Amino acid sequence: MDGLFAVYKPQGVHWKHVRDSIESNLLKALNSCPPPAPQLAVQFQLLSSGENSSSSKDLALSPTMVPTLADHPLVTGPQFHKVHVGVGHRLDAFSSGVLVLGVGKGNGVVKVCYILYDYTLEGEFGKATDNFTDTGRVIEKTTYNHVTQDKLERVLAMIQGANQKALITYSQVDLRTQEAYELAVRGLLYPLGKSPPILMGLRCIHFNPPHFSLEVQCVNETQKYLRKLIHEVGLELRTCAVCSGVRRTRDGPFKVENALTRQYWTADSIIQAIAHFHKTTRRIRKSGMYRQTAGQMNSRAEVQEQIRSQTGQSEQINRDEFSSSASDTVVDRETPVTMSEGRTKPC
Q: Which residue has the higher pLDDT, 198 or 169?
A: 198
pLDDT at position 304 is: 52
Does the structure show a pLDDT above 90 at 181? no
Between strands 3-9 and 96-103, the pairing is antiparallel
- Structural domain contains residue 170: yes
Checking DSSP bridges between strand 211-219 and strand 138-141, what pairing results, if any? unpaired
- Asked, for residue 220, whether it belongs to a domain, the answer is yes
Q: Beta strand 198-208 with 211-219: parallel, antiparallel or unpaired? A: antiparallel
CA distance 210 to 145: 9
Confidence label for 160 from pLDDT (cuts 50, 70 and 90)? very high
- pLDDT reading at 282 higher than 80: no
User: Is residue 295 over pLDDT 80?
Assistant: no
User: Strand pairing partners for 170?
Assistant: none
Helix (H) or strand (E) holding 120: strand 117-125
Q: How confident is the model at residue 312 (pLDDT cuts 50, 70, 90)?
A: low
Cα dihedral 29→90→297→1 (10° resolution): -10
Sign of CA dihedral 276, 281, 283, 284: positive
How many domains in the chain? 1
306 Cα distance to chain centroid: 28
Whole-number pLDDT of residue 236: 96
Closest CA to 26 of 82, 93, 89: 82
Q: What is the pLDDT of residue 294?
A: 38
- Checking DSSP bridges between strand 3-9 and strand 40-46, what pairing results, if any? unpaired
In the predicted structure, residue 178 carries a pLDDT above the cut 60: yes
**Residue 152 belongs to a domain with what CATH number?**
3.30.2350.10
Q: What is the phi-psi region of residue 346: left when phi exceeds 0, alpha when psi lies from -120 to 50, beta otherwise?
A: beta
pLDDT digits (tens, 9 = 90+) for 69-100: 777 777 777 778 888 999 999 999 999 999 99
Higher confidence at residue 207 or residue 31? 207
20: DSSP letter? H
> What's the rounded mean pLDDT across residues 276-283?
82
Q: For residues 71 and 69, what is the distance between their CA atoms, to the nearest angstrom?
A: 5
Closest Cα partner for 280 from 302, 297, 265, 295?
A: 295
In a domain, 134, yes or no: yes
CA distance 210 to 239: 11
> In the beta sheet, which residues pair with residue 207?
212
- In this predicted model, what pLDDT tens digit does every residue of 21-71 receive, in sequence order? 999 999 999 888 787 777 888 888 776 655 545 555 566 778 888 888 777
Q: Which residues of 180-216 are buried (b: 16+ CB within 10 A; e: fewer)?
A: bebbbeeebbbbeeeeebbbbebebeebeeeebbbeb
pLDDT at 65: 85
Supply the residues annotated as catalytic.
92
**Is residue 148 assigned to a domain?**
yes
Which stretches within the chain are classed as H helix?
15-31, 73-76, 107-110, 149-170, 178-186, 223-236, 267-276, 278-287, 296-342
Q: How confident is the model at residue 6 (pLDDT cuts 50, 70, 90)?
A: very high
Whether residue 151 is contained in a domain is answered as yes
Q: What is the pLDDT of residue 61?
A: 77
Q: Which domain holds residue 127?
A: 116-251
Task: Write out pLDDT tens, residues 87-141.
Answer: 999 999 999 999 999 998 888 777 665 568 999 999 999 999 999 999 999 999 9
The answer to whether residue 42 is domain-embedded is: no
User: Which residue in 262, 274, 252, 228 sits closest to 7, CA to CA?
Assistant: 262
In this structure, is residue 22 part of a structural domain?
Answer: no
Domain-embedded: residue 161: yes
Would the pTM count as exceeding 0.75?
no
Mean predicted confidence (pLDDT) in 161-168: 88
Give the mean pLDDT of the chain: 80
What is the band of 293 on the pLDDT scale with cuts at 50, 70, 90? very low
Determine which helix (DSSP H) or strand (DSSP E) holds 242, and give its type and residue range.
strand 241-251
The confidence score (pLDDT) of residue 170 equals: 87
Q: Spell out the long-range contacts of 305-312 with Cβ–Cβ below 8 A and sequence spacing 24 or more.
A: 306/182, 307/177, 307/178, 307/179, 307/182, 310/178, 311/178
pLDDT at 326: 45
The pLDDT of residue 75:
76
Helices (H) and strands (E) in the chain, counts: 9, 12
Q: Does residue 86 sit in helix, strand or coil?
A: strand
CA distance 221 to 169: 17
Cβ-based neighbour number of residue 332 at 10 Å: 9
